[in-house]
Copies of this chain bind each other. A is one copy, B any other.
Amino acid sequence: MIDFEYYTPTKVFFGRDKENMIGDIIKSYGFKNILLHYGMGSIKKNGLYDRVVKSLKDNDINFIELPGVEANPKLSLVRKGVKLVKENNIDFVLAVGGGSVLDSTKSICDSARTDIDPWEFQIKTKTPNVKKRVPFGAILTISAAGSEMSDSCVITNDETLEKRGCSNEAHRPLFTIENPELTYSVNKFQTGCGIVDIMMHTMERYYSVNDETELTDNIALGLLKSVVKAGRVVIDNPNDYNARADLMWASSLSHNGLTGSGKKYFMPVHQIEHEVSGMFDRVAHGAGLSVLFPAWAKYVYKSDIERFKRFALEVMDVENKGSDEEIAFNGIIALEEFYKSIGMPTRLSELDIYEESFKDLAYNYTFKGTREIPDRVKIGYDEALAILELAK
């Protein structure tokens, strides 16, 4: 086990109708002028917007709005948010949405009390914590990215099509409201993307290089097992409260540090996927991961058959029959089958991405030849290319 810091100060209000407390919660912190940041308007259709606005007004909280966050949130909108915060004396940003709205919010809050352009924070991922930042909180509407408790923030530069992640202690929200019922209306595809994303946050930690971290691994495997179980339930019964609740809570725990405690991890599949959805904006992050993880796993599983075997037996319920290597491999196939069963793609061709793009993707992944990831199996240009080939 390697040394680690664990810091998850985000207060989670979990359960039915909690979004109606939003005004009271913001008031309890003493904020008065807020920016309400959200996506493409689904919260207006399902009534959430009205409930939030009512609670804000009931508590005399002034607000202005910035809608329009898209999947793979864009730097241009972040810059617009920074301007709004500066010009309107905003003391708090409320994200109402999923990972994209949250990440857009984080990026706004990073730079809105500085003279530094938000992209600077994204590319200097190892900068010290932002001291002068705008506080923010969230009402979560989809179980997926884990941004609601994580220190991570991923933004796409819509001029250069680069997508960059930046992890920073200051990126953990002050609070998050999690009402599983708000996810009942998330459609099958988005639900599937979320399930993949949640699993990936834990799997990329579980499969990292590490020495013994039995406790962390047991927690990871237990979490993955419940996500697979809940995933099977919600695909048929989208209004199953307990299954939706398990997915929502797993979303937060998968990316808040818990499932990686004491481990060194690099998330190579995420890094390759960022290039895919950065170049092909139509690709949902979860769909990209669903295609790429099994390919990565097939490329590397022989480096730690025991670990892949545990996953196969404990999470995917693969039959304990055959050689260890066969069981380990069957676990990857079982995961692919699970992804298919919840409607997710497992080949790049399903995303209309073909061989002619592979070299550019692999090159972008290496930050134009300047990095490789020193994971259990080093992933540089050649390896990224091989993984893309396996996923074609």
Copies of this chain, tallied across the complex: 2
Which of A13-21, A41-49, A294-302 is near enough to bind chain B? A13-21
User: A230-279: which residues lie under 8 A (CB-CB) from chain B?
Assistant: 230, 241-242, 245-246, 249-250, 253, 258, 261-262
The residues in A between 1 and 38 inclusive whose CB is less than 8 angstroms from any CB of B are 1-9, 11-16, 18
Interface residue? A229 (CB, 8 A): yes
Contact among B214, B222, B249 for A246, CB-based, below 8 A: B214
A40 interfacial by beta-carbon distance below 8 Å: no
B222 touches A249 (CB 8 A): no
Residues of B within 8 A of A18 (CB): 3
Q: How far is the CA of A9 from the CA of B8 in the complex (A)?
A: 6
**A215-B246, A215-B249, A246-B214 are contacts. A4–B14 as well, Cβ < 8 Å?**
yes
> B230, A226: Cβ atoms under 8 Å?
no
Picked from B2, B5, B214, the residue with its CB within 8 Å of the CB of A12 is B5
Q: How far is the CA of A9 from the CA of B175 in the complex (A)?
A: 11
Q: Is the CB of A221 closer than 8 A to any CB of chain B?
A: yes
CB of A130 within 8 Å of the partner chain = no
**Across-interface contacts of A250 in B (CB, < 8 A):** 215
A88 interfacial contact with B, CB 8 Å: no
- State whether the Cβ of A223 lies closer than 8 Å to any Cβ in chain B: yes
Cross-chain contact of A1 among B12, B215, B242 (Cβ < 8 A): B242
B-contact 0/1 string along A192-227, CB 8 Å cutoff: 000000000000000000011111101101110111
- A11 / chain B contacts, CB cutoff of 8 Å: 5-7, 9
Q: Which residue of B lies closest to A222 (CB)?
A: B218
Chain B residues, CB < 8 A from A229? 214
For residue A247, which residue of chain B has the nearest CB?
Answer: B215
Which residues of B lie under 8 Å from residue A15 when comparing CB positions?
A: 2-4
Given A5-B11, A15-B2, A15-B4, A218–B223 Cβ distance below 8 Å?
Answer: yes
CB pair A12 B6 closer than 8 Å:
yes
CB-based contact A242/B7 at 8 Å: no
Judge whether A14 and B6 touch: CB under 8 Å.
Answer: yes
The listed residue (B14, B214, B249) touching A5 by CB distance below 8 A is: B14
A11–B9 alpha-carbon span in the complex (Å): 8
Return A311 CB to nearest CB of chain B, in Å: 13
Which residues of chain B have C-beta atoms less than 8 A from A216's C-beta?
249
A155 to nearest B CB, angstroms? 26
Q: How far is the CB of A225 from chain B (nearest CB, A)?
A: 6
| A1-B241, A242-B1 as given contacts; A14 in contact with B214, CB under 8 Å | no
- A242: chain B residues within 8 A (beta carbon): 1, 211-214
Select from chain B the residue with minimum beta-carbon distance to A149.
Answer: B6
Shortest C-beta distance, A137 to chain B (Å), equals 13
A214–B4 CA distance with the chains assembled, in angstroms: 28
A347-386 interface bits toward B, Cβ cutoff 8 Å, 1 = contact, 0 = none? 0000000000000000000000000000000000000000
Partner of A245, one of B1, B9, B226, B249: B1
Check if B1 sits within 8 Å of A16, measured CB to CB: no
With A214-B229, A218-B222, A218-B226 as known contacts, state yes or no: A12 contacts B7, CB within 8 Å. Answer: yes
Chain B residues with CB below 8 A from A6, complex form = 11-12, 14
B contact residues around A9 at 8 Å (CB): 8-9, 11
The CA-CA distance from A210 to B135 in the complex, in Å, is 35
Cross-chain contact B222 with A226 (CB below 8 angstroms) = no
Supply 7 A–B pairs (Cβ within 8 Å), ascending by A: A2-B15, A3-B14, A4-B12, A5-B11, A212-B242, A218-B226, A249-B261
Sample of 9 more A-B contacts, CB < 8 Å, known A2-B15, A5-B13, A219-B223: A3-B14, A4-B15, A6-B11, A213-B242, A214-B226, A214-B246, A215-B226, A221-B222, A249-B261
